[in-house]
Structure 1
Amino acid sequence: MKTIFFIIAVIVILFGFNNVYGLPEYEYNIGNLEWIDRCHLTGSSSYVIMVTDDDMNTNPGKIDRFDIEVWSDSENRVINVPVIETNNDAGIFEGTVFFRTTDDVLGHRVQAFTGDTVFAKYIDHTVLNDSGKTEIIATFTMSELSVLEWRGGIHPWKLVYDPCTMEHLEKNKDRLDQFNIVYPAPLKQIKSGLHSFEVKCKDSLELIFRYHDSSPACVKPESATKLIARTGWMENLTAFVYPTSTHVFHIVPCEYSIIYHI
């Protein structure tokens, strides 16, 4: 009888130790941090950052959130940016980082100029290591809108943009009328390789040409009327080159075969 009680006692003790001291089978994952957009252009107001980490889904059935850190070469401050779970139990978190090119430090916008490296840091506290945390950093470099090549003869002409510029234009084509486009003086446009009839003026000015050399000028509407009345100026170059009304401008992406008309 004593032997039976001894065996039962040993079994109870062994099960007790297993329940208390047994190591969990669950292994924690190392999180991933990445910028969603392939291209990052100076002057764009915001970009999306994404954290993928199943271990941060700490409240099953609910939307979790936490902060990451963002800064740049030009931004001395470290700005905390919230990332929010995209769905219940998704383990994927997204946040929007806003940028600025001004010196205004109000708000949570990161100052970044062309050539700056932008840093984002996610501290993963769920990884089991000696320090109890792992720092994960994702970076990108701010670039600018640029033209790779000018193509074409007299008519029409084409602008070949780099892939990032093309992506930006495609993404924002529904807001092209909101862009603040600044045209240089007519002479500078001519020196850049444009023909006289390709010169663009500010919205408040009109383009006219001299009769004797077809040189362009951007003037106020009332001045244009007076100059044309003097017969030394004309409002188009129909008699000399292709009329401006039939001129077609193209933006040709170097990675695609589609031609975008503007």
Structure 2
Amino acid sequence: MTDLNGTGKTNEDNASSIALAPPSFSPLYRQIKGLLLQKLEAGQWQPGEAIPSEMDLSQQLRVSQGTVRKAIDELAAENLLIRKQGKGTFVATHSERHVQYRFLRLRPDAGGLDEEGPAQRHILFCKRIRASAELGAQIGLRSGDAIIHIRRTLSMQSTPAVLEDIWLPGHAFKGITAEQITHYQGPTYALLEKEFGVRMVRAVEKLKAILPPDAEAAQLLHVDSTTPLLSVERVTYTYNDTPMELRRGLYRTDTHHYLNELN
């Protein structure tokens, strides 16, 4: 038969090669992990709620208990599930104390978080605006889409330590107000989880040392224009790597440091 493609093979030969190409392989436990992630994303199990036992899941999904255990182990390592000895496995929530500080890496040079107490939030504004092309691109929005812009300071023992600008997709956080954020007693991520059903599960950060970018930032942080600050830019994701927050923070490091544990 005539060679129609210049490769020395007929069309039938190429079709046969394509048909025989091996499919991409995914271990069974990874497939089960994907199914469990779908259930989490769909809200079948709410934050703080216990999921079915490994035995029940293995029966439902018709796989071995060991396969289910391996899938759950990975989800627990990613802080999406929490194992509690003698109680079962639960959907992680930002209301849990040990999860509350997962994304807040600023630590006092002297003493610990318990001695210092929680940060005091001061919301400077919370307003609904139109996304610029640059901002929108980082959280999956188009230029002109609605976006929530929050500016706040975090103070440690009444001294301003962090100035943050936070941008959230307008469609996911309709009705959020400065009063709501101010009066909520727990972490902001717990508020977003509880009131809007959006759970932040992963973040990517970029850090660099800078000087205060303008007089307003220096004034809000009670520093002068020559004080070095740590600039932290974070994009935070919910399930399926969907970006849900852009956050840019300026950190004072004269009495605090940024702690990152690697394992």
Question: Higher relative CO (CA 8 A, sep ≥ 6), structure 1 or 2?
Answer: 2
TM-score by length of 2: 0.22
TM-score by length of 1: 0.22
Greater Rg over alpha carbons, structure: 1
